[in-house]
Amino acid sequence: MADAQSLSTTSSGKRKRITYYAVKEGHIPDIYYSWSDVLKQITGYKDPKHESCSTLAEAEEFMRTGHSTKTKPYKQEFFYAVHTDRLDHVFPDWPSASAAMKGHKGIKQQKFKTSEEAWAHLRRLKSGTPSDASAPISTKSEASKGVSKKLKKNDGSAIEPTVFGGYFEPGTGPLPLGFEDGFDPTIRFNPINGRIEYKTELQRNVRKLQPTGEFSGPLKIWTDGSSRGNGKVGAVAGLGVWFGEHDPRNLSEPLLKGRQTNQRAELMAISRALDIAPIDKDVLIYSDSNYSIMCVTEWCKKWDGNKWKNSAGKDVENKDIIKPILERIKERELANATTKFTWLKGHSNNPGNVKADELATNASKRAQAGTYGV
């Protein structure tokens, strides 16, 4: 768990209520005490899963099961649109919004009944268009009339895209310039509330962290695996993938499937590295597992010709991880990208190997503690 901070007190001597932020799926799953720490873990992570809790027990339960045990009395749900000099985001509760604004300048925040209205308000702020919520009554009336006329025209045919102040509701408008494979790159699915939302500026720029040709040479990645109690009953394994210092693509996660061995964790680390790396970028993967490298470069040729049976006629161990790695390498070849491997001695103070080892070890420790829900 992230280091606990002491409870602060207000000028009246009353203690502030502490909020526990459980990040079940993120760069480093754990329980945190500040929203800024949570943002670091979920920014750039595909489909993050997190929850704010009022007690440590609720946070730990969410980490184990992925479901909140909070007993919530019925109340109106609100969404808080926050605009600052560094942030444009919609928060599902006031504590999260309040924590995110600390230390920021030029703060503008407003409460809405739906996330769509909140995001529309932020877009109006950025474009300089007045918000319906703060506009004079006559302006709001005209806006309402415009929407009403559109709705009355519908006689059962396809519903026209909903427009808020000149903006389409997320997922209903025409595709923007630069769309990819028929998908709008400016929207995302929010796994917390199940809604389609426009990405924040920060989320839109995250994609720039995976360049495909801005620099020469291959993308270098360090991978490692760790198994606590390797080969014994009750063993738990984790894997680490390190791209570079402060790189949001760095990965520390448990081995979710199969036997919890060090070899499987080493192979899965390579697999996850190839999942994250751009498919059209040359890659050089450093690993201290000669077994893993031989599996995906040499031994696989003989196994493939022998219908994935070993010399004893038995199924090749760990082929459920090895075969997908080989498929990914072939996909990269079709995109004119090379995938090369370099063995390096473990625990030899190679900076990249040390970092990957730390990520893998931390993942196995958290898995052993049960904070991953595995």
The answer to whether residue 100 sits within a structural domain is yes
CATH code, 44: 3.40.970
Q: What per-residue confidence (pLDDT) applies to 307?
A: 94
Residues 49 and 91 in one domain: no
The answer to whether residue 101 sits within a structural domain is yes
The answer to whether residue 4 sits within a structural domain is no
Residues 84 and 52 in one domain: no
Tokens for 53, please give them.
């809790």
Residues 225 and 357 in one domain: yes
Residue 54 structural domain? 20-65
Residues 24 and 54 in one domain: yes
Instruction: Please list, in sequence order, all residues whose beta carbon lies within 8 angstroms of the beta carbon of residue 368, skipping any fewer than 6 positions away.
Output: 228, 236
Residues 337 and 251 in one domain: yes
Tally the domains of the chain.
Answer: 3
Residues 244 and 296 in one domain: yes
Instruction: Please list, in sequence order, all residues whose beta carbon lies within 8 angstroms of the beta carbon of residue 130, skipping any fewer than 6 positions away.
Output: 124, 139
Instruction: Please list, in sequence order, all residues whose beta carbon lies within 8 angstroms of the beta carbon of residue 145, skipping any fewer than 6 positions away.
Output: none
- Residue 360 to residue 368: CA distance in whole angstroms: 12
Residues 24 and 119 in one domain: no
Identity of the residue numbered 105: K
Q: What per-residue confidence (pLDDT) applies to 67?
A: 80
For 290-345, what is each residue's pLDDT tens digit? 999 999 999 999 999 999 999 899 999 999 999 999 999 999 999 999 999 999 99
Residues 99 and 48 in one domain: no
Instruction: Please list, in sequence order, all residues whose beta carbon lies within 8 angstroms of the beta carbon of residue 159, skipping any fewer than 6 positions away.
Output: none
- Res 160 pLDDT > 80: no
**With contact defined as beta carbons under 8 Å apart, do 53 and 20 qualify?**
yes
The answer to whether residue 119 sits within a structural domain is yes
Tokens 């050089």 sit at which residue?
Answer: 284
Q: Helices then strands (H, E): number in the chain?
A: 11, 15
The answer to whether residue 58 sits within a structural domain is yes
- Res 5 pLDDT > 60: no
Residues 104 and 243 in one domain: no
